Amino acid sequence: MDSFTLNKVAGAVLGVLILTMGVGIVSDIIFHPTIPGKPGYEIVVASAEDSTSEVEAVPEVAPISERIVEASAEDGEKVAKKCAACHDFTQGGANKVGPALWGVIGRKPGGHEGFGYSSAMVAFGEANAEWTYEELDHFLEAPKKYVDGTSMSFNGLRKPEDRADLIAYLREQSDSPAPLPTE
């Protein structure tokens, strides 16, 4: 390699270095960095008095004895359509996947003849003499949580109004409807 070629290579390397330094200096002049007095971000921890630390309270649900007074059996019949695939509501109706529900209020849990209940529901029936309005309300909210081990696969009715309407409808599905709860 002759000296002229060596000079060209060295000049190119030096030119790239000078250009890179020049771009850095010019960018510092154009984009003047602002150095904060205190580096980083301050993390604000919510105190006990801070309103951001309050948890929204779950709205309190009125007892079934209050909700059933304003409940509508006609609306309950519409809600019952969700149950119709597994239950029959007619008098003398046949058991399906679930037991027939004619006269269920006041009936012993796990005690409808001709239906094979889960052992959990039979045990629940031994501990409870009959389906009360309160028991049905809790059961319909989340069957698997209320009777752990039940074979009922329904997730439940989350809205308290829907449960009250359905219970009002179930109350009418009887030869002699159970009296409304007083408390």
- How many other C-beta atoms lie within 10 A of the C-beta of residue 74? 11
pLDDT digits (tens, 9 = 90+) for 73-114: 999 999 999 999 999 999 999 999 999 999 999 999 998 889
Q: Using alpha carbons, select from 71, 92, 74 the residue that is nearest to residue 136.
A: 71
Model pTM score: 0.67
Q: What pLDDT sits at residue 118?
A: 92
Radius of gyration (C-alpha) of the chain in whole angstroms: 37
Residue located via tokens 């045990």: 123
Distance CA 77, CA 170 (A): 9
Domain ranges of the chain: 1-34, 64-172
Distance CA 65, CA 29 (A): 77
64-172 CATH, one of 1.10.3720.10, 1.10.760.10, 1.10.240.10, 1.10.1060.10: 1.10.760.10
pLDDT digits (tens, 9 = 90+) for 123-174: 999 999 999 999 999 999 999 999 999 999 899 999 999 999 999 999 999 9
